[in-house]
Structure 1
């Protein structure tokens, strides 16, 4: 069952659970995805962006080619507002900051990404501490200005506070029940009306937002 936040003749805004692919994989056993589930429900669904399989949260899909082009341009031109929640290792003493570290693929260890000041592509993340948790970790808000693969995950590792449950960038990923990264808020211009739309998705109970 797909949780749909909004739908009309042009777009669908839905929630991707952690552990579900955004789009179908090549192998038959990887066909199940948020895209394939929506395609079974709607006459046409077009992909605009993706979330990592282990990341939960909001995604917008187009229902027409025109809407797909319009939304894709917004992502390319960085018009879209994206805000994530993450639970990061240990207490972060600083209240907020900006991480400006270029990224590239670590080809021998794909799909891992690494920071590379020479060959990397520009990547910028703004972060804000929301709560010092009783379990010794920190709830943070993350806003990626760019959209590089694994950007938030690598940047928080670089800061010295990797995201809990991260199988690539946390030294003990089994310390959390899942990757503690959630696409919390998504804002964009409606491809037909031009109106600014913002959607919010509450994270699951592991994030402890009720006490934040």
Structure 2
């Protein structure tokens, strides 16, 4: 069976993932319990419907009701071009609880990124406040001493071909935080067309993946830990940095 998320390396057109069918989004389910779902978001698909319409993840949520009267709701968001663990609340009370966990930094998040060049050390912390780049580009960020505090822990997982494979843990949850922080260090994420050297359209896609999430949803239990498999578009560069396919 062909992979519906595989794209040929074409530089002359925007690459977008089509609207997911019920079967496709159900096949991307990583975790399900009475309170929440965790799905493996494909790169290239926005979570929300944009002002111009078009494919988006929320439009497929009706297929994730699993007997409940309403579709699940996003508990947080990932950028359009970021793949991996995305948490959904299954009903209003659960969504409110999850929202507070994210807001107060109780959810542990580990992202995998492939960056150009890379640090000389094997681990460290980036502590650089972020502010809005300008009013026109509402989401775009920059390092700004007057901005909001932003902290990222990083660890080298492997190196090769002038690239570095990093595990990134955002302590804070600012918009585009990992993309701006790595770029500010001089090692932008491969495929980043805003803060790095990525193409405006086409390959390579952004090499940023929400690899693992830990959600302390129940007070008396260990956090729910969910891992998302590395997306196909990152496989080649991950292997170049020593990834063994796990």
Structure 2 distance, partners of 1:191, 1:28, is: 37
Structure 2 distance, partners of 1:89, 1:176, is: 15
Question: What is the Cα deviation at residue 129 of structure 1?
Answer: 0.8
Please list, as runs of the form range in 1=range in 2, the aligned pairs for 1:66-85 lying within 5 A after superposition.
66-85=93-112
* Bigger proportion of residues as strand: 1
Q: Is the 8 A contact 1:70 1:191 kept in 2?
A: no
Q: What residue number does 1:13 align with?
A: 38
Q: What residue number does 1:181 align with?
A: 208
2:130 is aligned with 1:103? yes
Q: What residue number does 2:144 align with?
A: 116
Q: Is the 8 A contact 2:190 2:197 kept in 1?
A: no
Please list, as runs of the form range in 1=range in 2, the aligned pairs for 1:7-156 lying within 5 A after superposition.
7-29=32-54, 32-42=55-65, 43-108=70-135, 110=137, 111-118=139-146, 120-133=147-160, 135-156=161-182
The alignment partner of 1:28 has SS state of coil
TM-score normalized by structure 1?
0.90
Q: Is the 8 A contact 2:191 2:197 kept in 1?
A: no
CA gap 1:20/1:13 in 2 versus in 1, 3 angstroms = same
The alignment partner of 1:163 has SS state of coil
The alignment partner of 2:158 has SS state of strand
Q: Is the 8 A contact 1:67 1:192 kept in 2?
A: no
Q: What residue number does 1:210 align with?
A: 244
Structure 2 distance, partners of 1:194, 1:67, is: 16
Question: What is the Cα deviation at residue 27 of structure 1?
Answer: 2.2
Range moving further from structure 2, 102-111 or 55-64:
102-111
Question: What is the Cα deviation at residue 108 of structure 1?
Answer: 4.7
Unaligned runs of 5+ in 2: 1-23
Unaligned runs of 5+ in 1: none
Range moving further from structure 2, 15-24 or 40-49:
40-49
Structure 2 distance, partners of 1:125, 1:91, is: 15
What is the aligned-residue RMSD (CA, Å)?
Answer: 2.0
TM-score normalized by structure 2?
0.79
Q: Is the 8 A contact 2:198 2:204 kept in 1?
A: no
Question: What is the Cα deviation at residue 95 of structure 1?
Answer: 0.7
The alignment partner of 1:107 has SS state of coil
Question: What is the Cα deviation at residue 17 of structure 1?
Answer: 0.5
2:32 is aligned with 1:4? no
Question: What is the Cα deviation at residue 33 of structure 1?
Answer: 2.0
